[in-house]
Chains A and B, each alone.
Chain A
Amino acid sequence: MAEPLTSELKRALFGWFYPVKYSIERWAYALQRISGIAVTAYFLAHIVETGNVVGGLSVWSVPSTDLARDVWAATFHFLDNPLFDTGLVVIGFMLAYHTVNGIRLTLTEFGLLQGRPARPDFPYEPKSFTKSQRAIFWLSVLFAAATAVYALNVFFGV
């Protein structure tokens, strides 16, 4: 506990964003966290964004429909540009990955797809990360890529 908080945080963050030289399970973990934070950031922005459907932060009773329509039109106009559209493609990738990998984690939480305990042998691949779990992990990457392609098509008409 002698380590100062900032250096502890730095070490923890570095551990996440640099899963090189670790097993694929570690990559799955890092991506799950990164995507979770990204989607949380989107969620916060989305709550603020959709708040403008009724006229924004200062509106706490039913406003005139014209006011609501104008504020929403201005909000949509502000958000409708390639920068935010690119952001949505990334969020789509993250959300799809987080969903399918999250289902894998939910299954393991309840003891499914865990495999049997085994003697650790060279090259010490994690026995808990079974073949079916690997399959779901790659499925989540595939699903995320497909979602990103779909989003590219929706936002940029590629």
Chain B
Amino acid sequence: MRESTKMLLHYITGLGIVVAGGVHLFTVFLTGPYLQNLGFSGGGYSVIAIYRNVLLAATLELLLIFVDYHALNGIRVILIEFHQGTRWERGVSWVLAVTGILLLVYGTRTILIANALA
């Protein structure tokens, strides 16, 4: 992938985070008492109520994808500004790509299982 494509994706995911992250923060902080919303169940916006709502769970999955890319690409940009060289840049990209995929798998597992909890 060209560097310009990676950076375009960086800006697109950044704007996506503003929207999806806005929804996420709204449901946690602005829909009722914070402690109630972080309770496992009880109330319309408790942890498990959010995951069971397909639309909100899908928003969380989107947020996960956006933040995963944006954060790790950001770290990549910082690291290749520290030091340049083909080996360094390739190594950094590979390590971060694997990290990103592992985080995505683990986060998606949480969302899918929490959505299916009885």
Contacts and interface: CB of A to CB of B under 8 A. Distances in A.
Q: What class of interface size applies to chain B in its complex with A?
A: 35 or more
Interface of A: 5, 8-9, 12, 33, 36-37, 39-40, 43-44, 47, 50-51, 53-54, 57, 59-63, 65, 68-69, 72-73, 76, 99, 102-103, 106, 109-110, 154
User: Which 5 pairs across A and B sit closest by C-beta, in order of nearness?
Assistant: A40-B71, A54-B113, A69-B40, A12-B82, A36-B74
Contact of A62 (B29, B64, B71, B113): B113
Interface in B95-111: 103, 106-107, 109-110
A53 B115 CA distance: 11
Contact of B82 (A9, A51, A106): A9
Main secondary structure of the interface of B (DSSP, over half): helix
Contact of B110 (A33, A43, A54, A65): A54
Nearest to B39: A76
Contacts, number: 82
Nearest to A16: B78
Given A69-B40, A69-B41, A103-B18, 12 more contacts: A36-B71, A39-B71, A40-B75, A47-B107, A51-B107, A53-B114, A63-B113, A65-B117, A68-B114, A76-B38, A99-B17, A109-B7
B29 A65 contact: no
B40 A73 contact: yes
B103 to A, nearest CB: 6
Contacts of A51: 106-107, 109-110
A99 B18 contact: yes
B81 A12 contact: yes
